[in-house]
Amino acid sequence: MRSDPWFQAWQNGQADEGQVDSEFVSGWLRITTPSEIALYAQAFRLLASQGVYGEAARALMRASLESLES
């Protein structure tokens, strides 16, 4: 599981849950509707649970780089 401070704050309920800011190529969007914020939080938790972090992520990147060199 991720160990960076922002992720830990989100998981522990310490992140600002009053808004979600999404940045796009052409601008940004601020979400403040509670039901939409809950949807973003659910998506974040789902994607974060599927991520690879720390040494496992570094090993995956090394293996990818090595495959390009072959």
Domain annotation covers residue 7: no
Report helix, strand or coil for 56: helix
Q: Are 51 and 2 in contact (CB under 8 A)?
A: yes
Domain annotation covers residue 11: no
Whether the model pTM is above 0.75: no
Q: Are 20 and 31 in contact (CB under 8 A)?
A: yes
Range of the domain at 43: 33-70
How many Å apart are CA 37 and CA 44, to the nearest integer?
10
Domain annotation covers residue 48: yes
Domain annotation covers residue 49: yes
Say how many domains are in the chain. Answer: 1
**Per-residue pLDDT tens digits for 34-69:** 999 889 888 888 888 888 888 998 999 999 999 999
